[in-house]
């Protein structure tokens, strides 16, 4: 039998199954045995060469005289998904290698393909199955998979993952950030089984600029040229047949749609069928574009009333691990009057994006190209581009996502401009239906006004501005009078603005860390924002207090960035209501 080659159009995306929620799968979540290995003794010999029999072999003593200086089964355990820092007190500050091991039973089906799928591991993962290395993945917030069809056994299997979250200068993110470097297998792990010939990926959205033409493709692995792929949208009474060529079936058809928007987060069941496989997804359709300094959703101006969110769990801190935690965060954003969220500073889980989409939030998604990454290093670029590819590959069918952000607060300079220009065009090459943005903290002055003049403004479609008037510079009362100007006729989103407060701490309006001070920062910045006629939205910093190892003021911060509108214990601060009033009463 001759199988067709994969097609270049789907090949530029990451090799990731689309919509794993709909796949047949076995969960590998739960307790894993772990070994904390700061010296990477399970990996390197005393000559610092890779050991052929590292901890991934899970060797056991057989003779009383055997010397094996590790034993997963009498060591610690951790829950997956989950970060290690909040599960074990001793690992609170830990950055380095932890070995994870799980034995699991598996029943292999006939004529199927099996994937070992990791939703995210921070940061470097080296994965072994039954003692054999499958590969390495870099990047803490995006999914990756291995085809393990030939390596998985019926009966007991052993998966070992070397997880290393050491910060690295050349990595994405680089060595310094303002969030906790939570290590571990932070999102779910699955063994996914598909028929041998299966639907592996698809991209089904409105054609750029259209409100009634759905353009798309479906990729089939191990399919044959000439094979039929059916795309059905029962609600629209549509059933389209497309033909597979080089592993991909393309189609385009007209439809009269109820367009997705925050007020109408309509998702259609879309059924994809081939003889041997079937996938159902819930997909929304909307048009997003800019016109001068306006953002238009489905042809109408929309003001993005947003909030920035870190992927940090309410009430208990640590990484978000459940859909309930996503819902709590999103419910707070709803209460705040938001129609928009900025998922900072890295791709959040697929569950978060899907929940937000159902609840009607427009989404800004970003990769952790943050602060001072090594812009002249080619490997750093390749790493950033790969994380961008994985993010877009996973979420390209989510109508809620309207902005891909390529960077946050990066310092001006030629290597940075080259790097980010390339990254932006990479994003556009993967997805021309959405807008590209970046958050800038670089501003000049002209005629007494703050001026957006960073040349990156030329590259992006929407300009994000991070500005902490009343906190890192100036006094809150001076912010209201600030004027803004821009060299670009493009929409601006105030992607960060805010200040810190310890929930429950009250005092004078000029007393730092009190709720009154923070509320005043918001009042004055809102006044400033009202005066920016090219402002198309805002995502102040931030919904909830979050852990950061940069925040040392023990009596106030205690390792938390206190710019949340809500404390990590779920208590709202005064500023929450100030922003809420603005969002609910602003006639935009």
Residues 6 or more apart whose CB falls under 8 angstroms from that of 19 comprise 279, 281, 397
Contacts with ligand GCB by CB under 6 A: the residue count is 10
Q: Work out the angle at residue 283's Cα, subtended by the Cα atoms of residues 282 and 287, and round it to the nearest 5 degrees.
A: 160
State the nearest-atom distance from the C-beta of 176 to ligand GCB, in Å. 11
**Both tokens assigned to 20:** 């794993």
Q: What is the 3-state secondary structure (H, E, C) of 13-77?
A: CCCCCCCHHHCEEEECCEEEEEEECCCCCCCECCCCCECCCCHHHCCCCCCCCCCCCCCHHHCEE
State the nearest-atom distance from the C-beta of 563 to ligand GCB, in Å. 5
CA dist., res. 411 & res. 376, Å (int): 13
Taking CB under 6 A as the rule, which mask of x and - marks residues 527-566 in contact with ligand GCB?
A: --------------x-------------------x-x---
Which 366-425 positions form the footprint of ligand GCB (CB under 6 A)? Answer: 408-409
CA dist., res. 564 & res. 540, Å (int): 9
- Name the burial class of residue 89, with classes exposed (0-12), middle (13-18) and buried (19+) by CB atoms within 10 angstroms of its CB: exposed
Identity of the residue, 369 or 535, whose beta carbon is nearer to ligand GCB in the bound complex: 369
State the nearest-atom distance from the C-beta of 471 to ligand GCB, in Å. 8
State the nearest-atom distance from the C-beta of 446 to ligand GCB, in Å. 23
State the nearest-atom distance from the C-beta of 495 to ligand GCB, in Å. 8
**Both tokens assigned to 541:** 């910093």
State the nearest-atom distance from the C-beta of 408 to ligand GCB, in Å. 5
Identity of the residue, 386 or 466, whose beta carbon is nearer to ligand GCB in the bound complex: 466
Identity of the residue, 312 or 325, whose beta carbon is nearer to ligand GCB in the bound complex: 312
State the nearest-atom distance from the C-beta of 362 to ligand GCB, in Å. 20
Identity of the residue, 169 or 550, whose beta carbon is nearer to ligand GCB in the bound complex: 550
**Both tokens assigned to 583:** 């969002």
Identity of the residue, 18 or 181, whose beta carbon is nearer to ligand GCB in the bound complex: 181
Cβ atoms of residues 346 and 544 within 8 Å? no
Identity of the residue, 124 or 496, whose beta carbon is nearer to ligand GCB in the bound complex: 496
- Name the burial class of residue 448, with classes exposed (0-12), middle (13-18) and buried (19+) by CB atoms within 10 angstroms of its CB: exposed
Cβ atoms of residues 494 and 539 within 8 Å? yes
First to last CA, the chain: 60
CA dist., res. 433 & res. 288, Å (int): 7
Taking CB under 6 A as the rule, which mask of x and - marks residues 301-340 in contact with ligand GCB?
A: ----------------------------------------
Peptide bond into 123 cis (omega under 30): yes
CA dist., res. 245 & res. 225, Å (int): 5
Identity of the residue, 200 or 495, whose beta carbon is nearer to ligand GCB in the bound complex: 495
Identity of the residue, 398 or 547, whose beta carbon is nearer to ligand GCB in the bound complex: 547
State the nearest-atom distance from the C-beta of 493 to ligand GCB, in Å. 13
Identity of the residue, 116 or 463, whose beta carbon is nearer to ligand GCB in the bound complex: 463
Taking CB under 6 A as the rule, which mask of x and - marks residues 426-445 in contact with ligand GCB?
A: ---------------x----
Identity of the residue, 32 or 370, whose beta carbon is nearer to ligand GCB in the bound complex: 370
State the nearest-atom distance from the C-beta of 441 to ligand GCB, in Å. 6
State the nearest-atom distance from the C-beta of 439 to ligand GCB, in Å. 6
CA dist., res. 216 & res. 202, Å (int): 7
Going by DSSP bridges, is the β-strand pair 238-245/228-233 parallel, antiparallel, or unpaired? Answer: antiparallel
State the nearest-atom distance from the C-beta of 542 to ligand GCB, in Å. 7
Residues in the chain: 588
Cβ atoms of residues 71 and 78 within 8 Å? no
**Both tokens assigned to 278:** 């079937």
Which 481-520 positions form the footprint of ligand GCB (CB under 6 A)? Answer: 496
Identity of the residue, 308 or 574, whose beta carbon is nearer to ligand GCB in the bound complex: 308
What DSSP element (H or E) covers 112?
A: strand 112-118
Identity of the residue, 261 or 408, whose beta carbon is nearer to ligand GCB in the bound complex: 408
Identity of the residue, 154 or 176, whose beta carbon is nearer to ligand GCB in the bound complex: 176
Residue by residue, DSSP assigns 475-496 as: -HHHHTT--EEESS-S-EEEEE
Q: Does 85 bind ligand GCB (CB under 6 A)?
A: no
Buried b (16+ CB within 10 A) or exposed e, 493-502: bbbbbbbbbb
Q: Does 466 bind ligand GCB (CB under 6 A)?
A: yes
**Both tokens assigned to 137:** 């993945």
For residue 350, give the 3-state DSSP assignment.
helix
The binder of ligand GCB chosen from 178, 215, 477, 581 (CB under 6 A): 178
- Closest-approach residue to ligand GCB (CB): 178
Write phi, then psi, for 409 (nearest 5 degrees): 50, 55
For residue 553, give the 3-state DSSP assignment.
coil
Q: Does 354 bind ligand GCB (CB under 6 A)?
A: no
Could you tell me which residues are beta bridge partners of residue 105?
Answer: 156
Binding site for ligand GCB (CB under 6 A): 178, 345, 408-409, 441, 466, 496, 541, 561, 563
């Amino acid at each position: 039998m001759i199988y067709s080659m994969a097609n270049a159009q789907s090949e530029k995306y990451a090799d990731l199954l689309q919509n794993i929620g709909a796949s047949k799968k076995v969960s590998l979540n739960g307790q894993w045995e772990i070994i904390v290995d700061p010296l990477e003794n399970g990996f390197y010999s005393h000559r610092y060469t890779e050991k052929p029999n590292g901890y991934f072999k899970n060797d056991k003593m057989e003779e009383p005289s055997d010397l094996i200086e590790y034993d997963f089964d009498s060591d610690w355990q951790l829950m997956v998904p989950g970060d290690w820092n909040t599960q074990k007190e001793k690992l609170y500050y830990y950055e380095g290698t932890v070995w994870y091991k799980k034995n699991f039973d598996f029943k292999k089906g006939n004529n199927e393909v099996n994937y070992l799928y990791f939703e995210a591991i921070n940061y470097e993962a080296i994965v072994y199955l039954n003692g054999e290395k499958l590969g390495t993945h870099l990047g803490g917030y995006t999914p990756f998979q291995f085809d393990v069809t030939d390596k998985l056994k019926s009966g007991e299997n052993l998966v070992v993952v070397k997880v290393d979250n050491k910060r690295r200068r050349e990595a994405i993110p680089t060595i310094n950030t303002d969030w906790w470097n939570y290590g571990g297998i932070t999102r779910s792990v699955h063994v996914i089984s598909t028929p041998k010939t299966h639907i592996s990926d698809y991209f089904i959205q409105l054609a750029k600029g259209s409100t009634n033409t759905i353009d798309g493709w479906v990729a089939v692995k191990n399919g044959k040229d000439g094979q039929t792929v059916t795309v059905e949208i029962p609600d629209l009474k549509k059933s389209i047949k497309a033909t597979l060529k080089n592993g991909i079936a393309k189609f385009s058809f007209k439809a009269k749609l109820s367009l997705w928007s925050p007020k109408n987060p309509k998702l259609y069941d879309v059924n994809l069928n081939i003889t041997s496989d079937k996938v159902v997804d819930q997909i929304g359709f909307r048009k997003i574009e800019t016109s001068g300094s306006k953002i238009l959703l489905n042809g109408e101006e929309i003001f993005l009333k947003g909030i920035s969110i870190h992927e940090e769990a309410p009430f208990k801190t640590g990484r978000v691990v459940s859909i309930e935690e996503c819902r709590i965060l999103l419910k707070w954003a709803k209460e705040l009057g938001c129609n928009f969220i900025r998922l900072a500073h890295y791709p959040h889980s697929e569950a978060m994006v899907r929940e937000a989409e159902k609840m009607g939030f427009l989404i800004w998604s970003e990769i952790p190209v943050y602060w001072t990454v090594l812009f002249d290093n080619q490997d750093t670029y390749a790493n950033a581009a790969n994380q961008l590819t994985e993010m877009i590959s996973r979420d390209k069918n989510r109508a809620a996502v309207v902005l891909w952000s390529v960077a946050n607060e990066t310092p001006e300079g030629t290597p940075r401009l080259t790097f980010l220009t390339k990254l932006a065009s990479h994003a556009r090459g993967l997805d021309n239906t959405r807008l590209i943005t970046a958050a800038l903290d670089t501003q000049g002055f002209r005629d007494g006004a703050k001026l957006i003049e960073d040349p990156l403004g030329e590259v992006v479609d929407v300009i994000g501005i991070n500005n902490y008037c009343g906190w890192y510079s100036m006094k809150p009362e001076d912010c209201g009078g600030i004027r803004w100007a821009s060299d670009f006729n493009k929409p601006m989103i105030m992607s960060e603005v805010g200040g810190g407060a310890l929930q429950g701490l009250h005092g004078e309006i000029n007393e730092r860390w009190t709720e009154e001070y923070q509320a005043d920062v918001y009042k004055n910045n809102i006044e400033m924002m009202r005066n920016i006629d090219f402002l198309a939205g805002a995502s102040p910093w931030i919904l909830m207090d979050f852990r950061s190892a940069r925040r040392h003021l023990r009596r106030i911060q205690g390792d938390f960035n206190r710019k949340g509108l809500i404390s990590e214990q779920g208590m709202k601060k005064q500023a929450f209501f100030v922003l809420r009033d603005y969002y609910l009463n602003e006639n935009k």
